Amino acid sequence: MPSAAGSRGRHVRTCLHYIRGVFMKRHAFSAAAFSGTILSAAMFASPAMAQDQEQFITIGTGGQTGVYYVVGQSICRLVNRLEDANIKCNAPSTGGSVANINGIKSGQLDMGVAQSDVQYQAYNGTGNFEGDAFEELRAVFRVHGEPLTLLARADSGIEELDDLEGKRVNIGNPGSGQRNTMEVVMDAKGWTEDTFALASQLDAAEQAAALADNNVDAMVYVVGHPNGSIQEATTTVDARLIPLNGPAIDEIVEEYPYYSKSVIAGGLYKGNPDPVETFGVAATFVTTAEADDEVVYQTVKAIFDNFDRFKRLHPAFEGLDAEEMVTSGLSAPLHEGAARYYREQGWIE
């Protein structure tokens, strides 16, 4: 009985003979088109060949000046170094956490970076995902901590949270982590967009210039530090980090398990020598249960097998602990491909 491979081989040869005959009779087609058609015919005729094709994954990130963009680019850099996995990765700039979750849900993205609170809300159907729980959402690992950062022009008269009333504030673009967290703060304070003289919705890449150009008095950013956008703003205009503390913040941290108090170190930015109290979340890396187990396994393997290299790719990664990244700060279940690698390392049972 002929083998399947032999049958495919004869089928390919038959296809090529037929195509060659057609092109010998019709000279209107170019040699390049002839070659391309032969290649296509061979590929369709041999399903086994498709198994060796590269797999492409797209990772949702955030604004190009933010750490999310660096997270995605760093992951892709390590994944693309894999020699035998046949995986090619790209990480375009996106609208941020909520946009990444929605992109994964719709199939436009394979993986993405999202704040820990957005991960929680998406999986449980709360917040921006009220009544629409994404039960197929899967966690892969936690990354760096991300405090809510409030930066105000020194000439704005803003020295504390309550001073934002009546000011021009960039509250973040819809779908971003900063917008999501800022809305939590606004709810706790009983504020609406009308509380501000202007509630602009610029994305992360635009807000530093808006602050410097005096188009807004203050901007908010959920981000790891040091951050390029904050550095840009503080070097082009006299600007101050504003503490986020007090009863409203205490209530937020007490009510939501994914928030914790944080401190932005002093001396990271021009004109800001002292540490500043705030609160925040953590960046997490997520996917869907439908993602291929082997692809997810190879992705986490690329990172944790090269963990020292990964930590050198951004200052916000320096303090990361591999085991803590997979055992805390995650609300959705671990993807099975990721869990397989972590079991091999003895980090989970």
The tens digit of pLDDT for each residue in 86-95 reads 999 999 999 9
Beta-strand runs (E) in 80-214: 87-90, 111-115, 137-153, 168-170, 198-200
Q: pLDDT above 90 covers what percent of the chain? A: 68
Please say if the pLDDT value at position 148 is more than 90. yes
Q: What is the pLDDT of residue 145?
A: 86
β-bridge pairing 87-90 and 276-288: unpaired
Higher pLDDT: 169 or 18? It is 169
Higher pLDDT: 127 or 217? It is 217
Higher pLDDT: 299 or 49? It is 299
110/102 Cα distance (integer angstroms): 11
Output the DSSP codes for 278-309: EEEEEEEEEEETTS-HHHHHHHHHHHHTTHHH
Q: How far is CA 37 from the centre of its chain?
A: 39
Average pLDDT in the 100-116 region? 96
CA atoms within 13 A on the CB side of 97: 28
Please say if the pLDDT value at position 5 is more than 80. no
Q: Could you tell me the pLDDT band of residue 52, with boundaries at 50, 70 and 90?
A: low
Q: What is the pLDDT of residue 213?
A: 97
Residue position matching structure tokens 């803590």 = 324
Average pLDDT in the 225-246 region? 94
Listed residue (146, 60, 65) closest to 95, CA to CA: 60
Q: What is the pLDDT of residue 28?
A: 36
Please say if the pLDDT value at position 12 is more than 90. no
Q: What is the pLDDT of residue 74?
A: 96
Q: What is the pLDDT of residue 318?
A: 84
Please say if the pLDDT value at position 17 is more than 80. no
Q: Which range, of 9-18, 159-168, 242-251, 274-283, averages the lowest pLDDT?
A: 9-18
Max mean pLDDT range (70-79, 254-263, 322-331): 70-79
Listed residue (345, 333, 332) closest to 303, CA to CA: 345
C-beta neighbour count of 174 within 10 angstroms: 15
Who contacts 298 (Cβ-Cβ below 8 Å, separation ≥6)?
79, 82, 85, 87
Please say if the pLDDT value at position 334 is more than 50. yes
Q: What is the pLDDT of residue 128?
A: 85
Q: What is the pLDDT of residue 130?
A: 93
Q: What is the pLDDT of residue 49?
A: 38
Please say if the pLDDT value at position 336 is more than 50. yes
Average pLDDT in the 239-256 region? 94
Average pLDDT in the 118-141 region? 95
Task: Give the DSSP H/E element, type plus range, for residue 261.
Answer: strand 260-264
Q: Average pLDDT of the chain?
A: 86
Q: What is the pLDDT of residue 13?
A: 39
Q: What is the pLDDT of residues 168-208, one digit of tens each?
A: 999 999 988 889 899 999 999 999 999 999 999 999 889 99
Q: What is the pLDDT of residues 260-301, one digit of tens each?
A: 888 898 999 999 999 999 999 889 999 999 999 999 999 999
